[in-house]
């Protein structure tokens, strides 16, 4: 997509870089726009849907409903409910005939990604998805530099097991750079994770 800003400058898709560099170079800055990772992914999934590329949604937040009022002539009101821990991942759907399943998390940590962002249920869910031929991964955002990585769930499982065997409770950023893939950040779509899927899976579809 090519378009011009009102200032007459041609729009150029910026490479993935840290916000510091962006500021230094006075380029278009997508970082720190006050958007959460969830909002960016919802926008990305809407883009994919409207372009006819994929059908991927975030699942609703799981809630345990305890008390509901049914006032006359108006909608039911939930008066007491609690957040439940999800037993699966947040996002799933279909892309080129394949089942896509992922979780997205962010950290303010600059040098490593804490594994406490995940829980055992999710790790075993992701393993099951892979066993059944699905494509499973996590999207990890380092919010201090606005860098976003794609890590296959097989690698996440490896680091999870290392922790359970007494190893470190996080994945170092160097490890994420080695085993994961940097996701291009843009305007539309904001977080183009399917470009990574395309490069790493064969579709006969």
List contacts with its own copies (CB under 8 A): 49, 52, 54-55, 57, 59-63, 65, 75-84, 86-88, 92-101, 125, 128-129, 131-134, 205
Q: Please identify, using beta-carbon distances, which residue of 94 and 110 lies nearer to its own copies.
A: 94
Annotated binding site: 88, 90, 103, 122
Q: Please identify, using beta-carbon distances, which residue of 11 and 201 lies nearer to its own copies.
A: 201
Measure the CA–CA gap between 56 and 91, rounded to whole angstroms: 7
Q: How far is the CB of 106 from its own copies (least distance, A)?
A: 20
Q: Please identify, using beta-carbon distances, which residue of 33 and 59 lies nearer to its own copies.
A: 59
Annotated binding site for Mg(2+): 88, 90, 103, 122
For strands 147-152 and 170-172, give the pairing: unpaired
Tell which phi-psi region holds residue 169, choosing left (phi > 0), alpha (psi between -120 and 50) or beta.
alpha
Measure the CA–CA gap between 191 and 148, rounded to whole angstroms: 8
Q: How far is the CB of 91 from its own copies (least distance, A)?
A: 11
* Phi and psi torsions of 33, nearest 5°: -85, 5
Q: How far is the CB of 31 from its own copies (least distance, A)?
A: 28
Q: Please identify, using beta-carbon distances, which residue of 33 and 132 lies nearer to its own copies.
A: 132
Measure the CA–CA gap between 147 and 140, rounded to whole angstroms: 8
Residue position matching structure tokens 């059908």: 55
62: CB partners within 8 A, 6+ apart: 83, 84, 85, 86
Q: How far is the CB of 105 from its own copies (least distance, A)?
A: 19
């Amino acid at each position: 997509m090519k378009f011009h800003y009102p200032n007459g400058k041609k729009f150029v898709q910026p490479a993935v870089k840290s916000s510091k560099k962006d500021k230094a170079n006075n380029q278009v800055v997508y970082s720190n726009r006050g958007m959460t990772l969830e909002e960016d992914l919802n926008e990305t999934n809407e883009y994919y849907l409207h372009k006819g590329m994929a059908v991927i949604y975030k699942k609703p937040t799981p809630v345990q409903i305890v008390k509901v009022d049914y006032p006359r002539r108006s909608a039911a009101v939930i008066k007491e409910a609690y957040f439940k821990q999800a037993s699966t991942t947040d996002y799933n759907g279909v892309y080129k005939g394949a089942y896509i399943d992922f979780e997205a998390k962010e950290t303010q940590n600059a040098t490593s990604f804490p594994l406490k962002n995940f829980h055992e249920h999710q790790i075993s869910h992701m393993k099951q998805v892979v066993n059944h031929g699905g494509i499973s991964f996590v999207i990890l955002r380092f919010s201090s530099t606005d860098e976003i990585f794609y890590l296959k769930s097989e690698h996440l499982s490896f680091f999870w097991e290392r922790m359970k065997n007494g190893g470190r409770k996080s994945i170092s950023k160097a490890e994420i750079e080695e085993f994961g893939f940097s996701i291009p950040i843009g305007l539309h779509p904001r977080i183009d994770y399917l470009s990574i899927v395309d490069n790493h899976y064969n579709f006969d579809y």
